[in-house]
Amino acid sequence: MVALYELEFGVSDFVAVANQTLEYAYPSVVIIGELANFKVSKNKWVYFDLKDEFASLRFFGTVYQLNTPLEDGMLLRVKGSPRLHPQFGFSITVSQIELVGEGTAKKAATLLEKKLAAEGLFDPARKRLLPYPPARIGLIASGESAAYVDFSKIINQRWAGLEIQHVDVLVQGADAPEQIVNALNTFNQQQDLLDVLIITRGGGSAEDLQAFNAENVVRAVAGSRIPTLVAIGHERDFTLAELVADVRASTPSHAAEILTPDKKAVLGEIKRQKASMAHALDSVIFNKLDNLNRSKIMLENSTKTVVGSSYEQLLSRKSILQAYDPDFALRRGYALARINDKLIRNSADVAAGDIVNLEIVDAILRARVEDIQKKGKKYYG
């Protein structure tokens, strides 16, 4: 049997063997340490060390794995694969980076905030109004969380007929940012875009909430075509996702309150509107009746006036006519004098000795003219 220490290797061979062993023993490893010598090269390659009191390890990755700005001194949790590079020695190839501790989490958020503010992502002018009430909403939350339960409960109490599409995501941990971004993209690429997207979780430390300060998440929220409502259950130190959303709510329950009206209140309003309509209709009808009444009275009055004056006219005309009626004159004692069937109008029409006819009311008298006595110069006729 050959003792291991007697084996000879070529340099490359040993490198290969060592890598095989590493791959076998630690295909993937998670290491926590303090960031040092952080460097980005050609805007693509990332080099840094993680160190503790006694040692330091080299790491190598790409900018695409960076979710936040990094600074020396930050405490990181890095997942990667160790390897022995043929030329550059031992290093760990990064697959995932996570922030550790409140200090680190807050520091990263502050750095990112500065960077994004400069781009104008927090500009109030960017904020859109949410459709109110919405008909179809997307919910990005952890299905097992209290946030999901609270939101669902309140929204069911307050409103009806909503279509809710839910994507169950991790809201904490190294995989959370990717899932949240994925959910946002999924909704934004649907054929029939929803009205609002709600992203919600309960409160936590800055470290717990770091996914909502991750650059890819914040950019995805900012870039969402669908208006966004972000509700993280805490009051202080807003996460960047909240600052960049169209609307922010302080808790999942509050989000439900902002999103829709309270159907109880709306039903009350409808009742009031029904009463308004009935009252308005009554007014219209009453006014119409009142108008009709007025018109009726006016009509009656003017008719009386018209008729009254006509009647008076008639009477006066009648009496005028009557004056010209011969019978009327005869009844009063006048006689119509005729000679040879012609009316005697004056003394020239007749001579003494003529026979004349005198028509009185009920007979005709034959008379002989005895004498003519002329009256003064007054003539009637």
Partner 1 sequence: MVKFNYVEADQRLGEIVAKLQSTDISVDEALDLYKEGMELAEKIEDYLKTAEQSIKQIKLNLEKTSNKSDSDN
- Please choose, from the candidates 170, 178, 173, the residue with its C-alpha nearest in 3D space to the C-alpha of residue 65: 178
- Count of chain residues binding partner 1 (CB under 8 A): 40
Q: Going by C-beta distance under 8 Å and a sequence separation of 6 or more, which residues neighbour residue 75?
A: 32, 33, 34, 35, 99, 100, 101, 103, 104
> Considering beta carbons, is residue 267 or 321 the nearer one to partner 1?
267
Nearest distance, CB of residue 278 and partner 1, angstroms: 8
Binding mask 130-159 for partner 1 (x = CB under 8 A): -x-x-x--x-------------x--xx--x
Interacting residues with partner 1 between 114 and 133 (CB under 8 A): 131, 133
Nearest distance, CB of residue 214 and partner 1, angstroms: 17
> Considering beta carbons, is residue 126 or 288 the nearer one to partner 1?
288
Contacting range for partner 1; rule: CB under 8 A; set: 44-52, 180-188, 219-227, 331-339: 180-188
Q: Going by C-beta distance under 8 Å and a sequence separation of 6 or more, which residues neighbour residue 135?
A: 161, 162, 163, 195
Listing DSSP states for 27-67 in one string gives SSEEEEEEEEEEEEETTTEEEEEEE-SS-EEEEEEEGGG--
> Considering beta carbons, is residue 56 or 276 the nearer one to partner 1?
276
Contacting range for partner 1; rule: CB under 8 A; set: 167-175, 295-303, 343-351, 358-366: 167-175
**How many whole angstroms separate alpha carbon 268 and alpha carbon 60?**
64
Angle between helices 176-188 and 215-222 (to 10 degrees): 20
Nearest distance, CB of residue 19 and partner 1, angstroms: 27
> Considering beta carbons, is residue 60 or 159 the nearer one to partner 1?
159
Nearest distance, CB of residue 52 and partner 1, angstroms: 34
- Please choose, from the candidates 262, 203, 189, the residue with its C-alpha nearest in 3D space to the C-alpha of residue 234: 203
Interacting residues with partner 1 between 261 and 290 (CB under 8 A): 263, 266-267, 270, 273-274, 276-278, 280-281, 284-285, 288
* Rg, the chain, Cα only: 57
164 is an interface residue for partner 1 by CB under 8 A: yes
301 is an interface residue for partner 1 by CB under 8 A: no
Burial class (CB in 10 A: 0-12, 13-18, 19+), 1: exposed
162 is an interface residue for partner 1 by CB under 8 A: yes
Geometric angle at alpha carbon 79, from 76 and 81, rounded to 5°: 135
> Considering beta carbons, is residue 186 or 293 the nearer one to partner 1?
186
